[in-house]
Structure 1
């Protein structure tokens, strides 16, 4: 049951920024094992998953969101998790077909699936391509076996590189993830590993500095003094090394953790960061939908079996659908948009909220060297401000 729905008097387009597009996020919540750093909504099950039953539930949720937001042109679909590469290609095909039946699926839509590079999962790559997936995002995470083991990964470095090569041969576009700031990893070691990884890169890579999230195995290990992480100085050196190496190789950062050649940016993630509209389906999925009553923040039931039962009984898995005030929308707009190297357009913020971004705060942060205005008047975080992004964004949005 939806806990709360607050109607806004504003119409759908009142105060809204220019439309960055519409996307659909599909969450597959199952994994072979839980990685010690992971706080995502992922679950391990000993028994086989009834994919036919989950596919029927996905179809019901898609139909429900289409009733709330009809007539959309879907520019991107993203299968995330969990581990979507545990899904059968036929299940992926069924979800894509349901999206195309509920809305208009743009002929040039980006359809991304997250995949792990174990040899078993890589065998499904051809099936995903036949199902309509045209972009693969591969969870490589490290290029040496000891670190992969420490990260709880089930693949080897050799399997990871084989999967990347296969993705390059099968898909028009692909990306892979690496985690840096791992225990015992210095800047010189990371530079060598990143340089090797970029030899295999296509038009996009995602490079995440390891953070310790609440309620994870790594948090408990750190609390027990069994996990040694880089100090502040080394963390900064690793961040700067990442920016330097990727830019030199033609994949500059377009977002704090994402790097791409021109035109290779993740179109789906740009919808989020440019504050576009997206539907979220599956256990624990989030969405932002525009309705005649305003912009709604939505969230589904996190527990997979409870979500499944709710969809089968109520026709959707939503547990929250709340209309956002213009002030809340402005905060989200800044929190997302200032992650991008392109920054944010103050005029879009004014249209969204009915007010200017606090000029005194902006002027102070520009004077201190953390923000700048480009030739178009956009506000963006500087190279000096980038390592302190969360603090800078919080200051602007306060």
Structure 2
């Protein structure tokens, strides 16, 4: 039974489980990127990184997590970065074979790999598909050469289009990442990018606003970005284009054709569990009486050395305090345009709904939260001011 004690977690069932794998290298660090990515070293070898050593570390890292997930099935895998498409097809096959041998992977699990259009080759993508990758997410960002150059991307518009065509030949699901609010971007240029993306009819699109993140080149040397009003106009225009083309906005930045949502990311947003392996990877694993988070060594060299010398690369492993769970839950679930069923709160946090009753009332009074008692769902106003809504659930 669910405990009525707001200071004690009691889960009646464990949530779905996913696996995230971080690949920390890229050919060139983009000036806006705040992800854990490291430019490959020229002259080290053809790849610029030690693939065999890193894969060995990943497999050993996964093995450290096995006692925490005995008997649980893994429903999806996401290989992010960095630029995972820098891996060889043979290396990818070795990694996925090792994973299948160690975890109970759902037979039709969604297995996603991020790819840079500048590192896409037809033969290599065919090899990835043969290894078991069935979904690819392409970092297009824009189709316009001037914008791509301003963003520090290594590909041009023609290469972006070619990469999409190749990917669609080999994978049943392809996502395109697009950015808006780019340096000096006009309403017309933003529209052209979305219309070009729609012409390929990929089942999924991600649509992100360029933001200046701390500790990035753009934060120190900011480009000339459109005004807030101009960015809002671009957003409204392009969302309208996506909706008219048959894409549903199911999360703040995600749009999909019917039944083509990203299963892995939905698991995050529904406060599911995930193992995180690789340099800088984060994980969340639930137990009947607690929910934990883990963080790995961030730098790839430190990560591999830790796995080799200690057999473990954790730099943090902690139990999430019950008082912090409501905010963590709402931080994720309120990003979904349909929200989640109200009983999901107790199912995923192990806490009674009464612990957030005051915050729920405030959110409804401010017209930020839908008043339907069976659903935790932001109103259109709540989606527009999502940070304000989420902050109501802070301790």
Question: Structure 2-normalised TM-score?
Answer: 0.91
Q: Given that residues 60 and 315 in structure 1 are in contact (C-alpha distance below 8 angstroms), is that contact kept between their aligned partners in structure 2?
A: yes
Q: Secondary structure at the match of 2:335?
A: coil
Equivalent residue number for residue 236 of structure 2: 240
Q: Partner of 2:392: helix, strand, or coil?
A: helix
Match among 362, 382, 386 for residue 383 of structure 2: 386
Deviation at 1:357, TM superposition (A): 5.7
Residue 343 (structure 2) aligned to one of 343, 347, 357: 347
CA distance in 2, matches of 1:110, 1:360: 38
| Pairwise CA distance, 1:277 | 0.8
Whole-angstrom CA distance in 2 between matches of 1:30 and 1:113: 14
- Is 1:329 equivalent to 2:329 in the alignment? no
Task: Name 1:203's counterpart in structure 2.
Answer: 203
Q: Are the aligned partners of 1:175 and 1:201 in contact in 2 as well (CA < 8 Å)?
A: no
Q: What pairs with 1:1-398 in structure 2 (closer than 5 Å)?
A: 15-16=10-11, 19-46=14-41, 47=44, 48-118=48-118, 121=121, 123-222=123-222, 227-291=223-287, 294-351=290-347, 352-356=350-354, 358-374=356-372, 377-398=374-395
Deviation of 1:28 (Å): 0.5
Contact 1:41–1:302 at 8 Å: present in 2 too? yes
| Separation (CA, whole Å) in 2 of partners of 1:126 and 1:303 | 30
Q: CA deviation at 1:237?
A: 1.8
- SS at structure 1 position matched to 2:380: coil
Q: Alpha-carbon deviation of 1:232?
A: 2.1
Deviation per CA, 1:60-100, whole angstroms, max 9, x where unpaired? 01111112222221110111001000011122112211221
Which aligned runs of 4 or more in structure 1 are off by greater than 6 angstroms? none
Q: Which moved more, 1:235-244 or 1:98-107?
A: 235-244
* Counterpart Cα distance in 2 of 1:193 and 1:292: 47
Indicate the SS of the match to 1:215: coil
**1:217 and 1:309 mapped to 2: Cα distance?**
29
> Given the superposition, is the C-alpha separation of residues 19 and 318 from structure 1 closer, same or farther in structure 2, using an over 3 Å criterion?
same
SS in 2 for 1:194: helix
Query: Contact 1:350–1:357 at 8 Å: present in 2 too?
Result: no
Where do 5+ consecutive residues of structure 1 fail to align? 1-9
Q: Is the 8 A contact 1:17 1:348 kept in 2?
A: no
**Cα shift readout 1:14-55 (whole Å, capped 9, x = no counterpart):** 533865521100001001010000000000132231211111
Structure 2 unaligned residues grouped into runs of 5+: none
How far apart in 1 are the matches of 2:69 and 2:119?
A: 39
Provide the secondary structure at the position in 2 that maps to 1:302. Answer: coil
Please name the residue that 1:4 is paired with: none
CA contact under 8 A between 1:300 and 1:317: conserved in structure 2? yes
Normalising by structure 1, we get a TM-score of 0.91
Contact 1:333–1:349 (CA<8 Å) still a contact in 2?
Answer: yes
